């Protein structure tokens, strides 16, 4: 991650292990602008590249060309209003087709990994950060 003119940018690199592990920036526009700051986790799974940001933001990128497929934010219209919600950690289950997010606020979010729709939210399930 780096910042260009006040915006966060995700840099994607290719590693060519057949040619001495040569590292080059991904040829199909390897820079992706991220609407949020403070990335908390990047995870590459069979569904693609998943990125989370501290202010309850989640984005799924295609696993081949890294185009943005879906975005989720806890404050989206029609979703929960969660100005205090944070995302410090998440994990993905391909068996259950869900992504579970948690953070300092104590809230847990369960997101459908196919549609990025909120399946369930648990408010302040504990008194300490996750």
108-126: per-residue pLDDT in tens?
Answer: 888 888 888 888 877 766 5
Decide which of 2.40.10.480, 2.60.40.10, 1.10.390.10, 3.10.20.30 is the CATH code for 37-122. 2.40.10.480
For residue 73, give both structure tokens.
Answer: 């934010």
Domains of the chain: which residue ranges?
Answer: 37-122
Q: What is the pLDDT of residues 72-94, one digit of tens each?
A: 887 664 444 444 667 888 889 98
Beta-bridged to residue 21, according to DSSP, are none
Full-model pTM? 0.70
- Rounded-to-integer distance, Cα 27 and Cα 31, Å: 10
């Amino acid at each position: 991650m780096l910042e260009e003119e006040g915006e966060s940018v995700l840099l994607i690199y290719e590693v060519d292990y057949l040619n001495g592990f040569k590292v080059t920036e991904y040829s199909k526009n390897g820079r992706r602008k991220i609407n949020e700051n403070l990335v908390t986790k990047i995870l590459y799974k069979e569904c693609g590249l998943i990125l989370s940001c501290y202010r309850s933001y989640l984005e799924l990128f295609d696993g081949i060309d890294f185009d943005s497929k879906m975005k989720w934010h806890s404050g989206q219209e029609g979703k929960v209003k969660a100005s205090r919600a944070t995302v410090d950690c998440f994990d993905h289950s391909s068996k259950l087709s869900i992504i579970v997010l948690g953070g300092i606020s104590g809230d847990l979010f369960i997101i459908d990994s196919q549609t990025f729709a909120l399946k369930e939210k648990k408010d302040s399930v504990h008194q300490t950060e996750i």
